[in-house]
Amino acid sequence: MKNEIMGAEKLIQNLTPSIDKKCAEIKSERKDRILTRLFVIMCISAVIIPVLFVILGISLAIFVAPILFMCICVIVLLPAIINVNGGRKYEPTAKNA
């Protein structure tokens, strides 16, 4: 009985890396499928939204202006977003060195 338990534990220990590898592969495949679906949806909406605007008689400027504004904001604020410390450098003191 004790040998069977030791054998089972050894088997589990030997299979753990393979199980982890397979789980990582499954997660990667799932993520790829989600990203592929998102890409297709974005491509379809890039065609359908302007067509709907033309059919409904809505100006494309109403659609493009907020997107352009957000892009400009991101470009302008990007240095502040990237620099988490807000431009201050961390210098250790004697207390926390």
Q: What is the CA radius of gyration of the chain?
A: 27
Domain count, the chain: 1
Checking if the pLDDT of 13 tops 60, the result is yes
Chain centre distance of CA 8: 39
Q: Is 70 exposed, middle or buried (0-12, 13-18, 19+ CB in 10 A)?
A: exposed
Q: Is residue 40 part of a domain?
A: yes
Q: Is residue 96 part of a domain?
A: no
d(CA 4, CA 11): 10
Question: Per residue in 15-65, pLDDT tens?
Answer: 888 889 999 999 988 988 888 898 999 889 888 887 888 888 888 778 788
Domain extent, residue 44, equals 2-82
pLDDT at 81 (0 to 100): 67
Q: Is residue 70 part of a domain?
A: yes
Q: Is residue 88 part of a domain?
A: no
Q: Is residue 87 part of a domain?
A: no
d(CA 90, CA 83): 12
Q: Is residue 89 part of a domain?
A: no
Q: Is residue 51 part of a domain?
A: yes
